Structure 1
């Protein structure tokens, strides 16, 4: 199946989740992430704000770690510190983002990136929305070696996705049923 057809099918499956099912699955994903050794040892974690029924991982945010969230600026993601109580502002595509004046986070301080995806496969490849934001980010030398954990619902964890030469495999994948390391 082509990437566009697969993307449409999986997004439709996500849209069909009831509010309660989406919340339950998201909560179980948060529990799986809490069990992941990479998360347990991380001091600075980059994450995302759920959009279009992506798994909601904001339940993980606490004062135990430094948290960062992206702002879309042109074709790039800029990462800013955020903590409970900070305000969000509507950004590109209607996604909530940290305020532009929030301190930026340097790649060398980051221990883990929680990466949203439409789907992930057993090799660690992800299917995104097609904009290439995370592929561009993760291909840059200063971001390439930071551990990444793709976050998807179990029905979107597939044996194999079609890939392109520029696709960057993730370090691991987490669903509501499990987390797996895909590369060390």
Structure 2
């Protein structure tokens, strides 16, 4: 399968996942993630604000803030297709913007890449080597190209695929957390 077909297939599976399973699986993934060494040792965590059928990150953002961690979320800069992470104090620091995403207010302090200990990388499909199919813009691959900290993706187990789809510019994540 090509990336476009895999992306569409996974979007349909996410849409059709029963709400009860989504809640149970997400809870299990969150528990694994927040008890991981990477999470525990991180002072600054970067993650997107989830929407739609993505694995929820709202709870994780609140958890990180209540744990005393610094949280930064990205703004998409369409020119150059780059991510700029800004520190937030709460989800109220985000506003609807690019592609209907919730992104931080542009005046908020920018987090330097070297300050970020852990990046929770979104995706739709994942290979066993940590390569991912995202939403098609290549924003995270550009950001991760010279990032040296930890990277984790959250996925439902059905998002893991045996398909080979990595391309030369793709950057794998170091770990994938599922409900299993």
Superposition TM-score, scaled by structure 1 size: 0.88
1:35 aligns with 2:35: yes
1:65 aligns with 2:66: no
How far the C-alpha of 1:25 sits from its partner, in A, is 2.0
1:180 is matched with which residue?
none
How far the C-alpha of 1:160 sits from its partner, in A, is 4.2
1:56-104 deviations in Å (ceiling 9; x for gaps):
1221222320001011112111100112263320011101111111111
Distance 1:98 1:162, change over 3 A: same
Instruction: Decide whether the 8 Å contact of 1:14 with 1:53 is kept in 2.
Output: yes
1:174 aligns with 2:180: no
1:21 is matched with which residue?
21
Give the 4+ runs in structure 1 shifted more than 6 A. Answer: none
Distance 1:51 1:85, change over 3 A: closer
Q: Out of 148, 153, 174, which is 1:150 matched to?
A: 153
2:86 is matched with which residue?
80
Unmatched tracts of structure 2, length 5 or more:
none
Q: How many angstroms apart in 2 are the aligned matches of 1:20 and 1:98?
A: 30
- Determine helix, strand or coil for the equivalent of 1:89: strand
Instruction: Decide whether the 8 Å contact of 1:127 with 1:161 is kept in 2.
Output: no
Q: How many angstroms apart in 1 are the aligned matches of 2:138 and 2:39?
A: 25
1:5 is matched with which residue?
5
Q: How many angstroms apart in 1 are the aligned matches of 2:27 and 2:48?
A: 15
1:50 is matched with which residue?
50
**Larger displacement relative to structure 2 (125-134 or 15-24):** 15-24
**Larger displacement relative to structure 2 (62-71 or 52-61):** 52-61
Q: How many angstroms apart in 1 are the aligned matches of 2:60 and 2:135?
A: 24
Instruction: Decide whether the 8 Å contact of 2:157 with 2:179 is kept in 1.
Output: yes
- The alignment covers a number of residue pairs equal to 174
Instruction: Decide whether the 8 Å contact of 2:58 with 2:91 is kept in 1.
Output: no
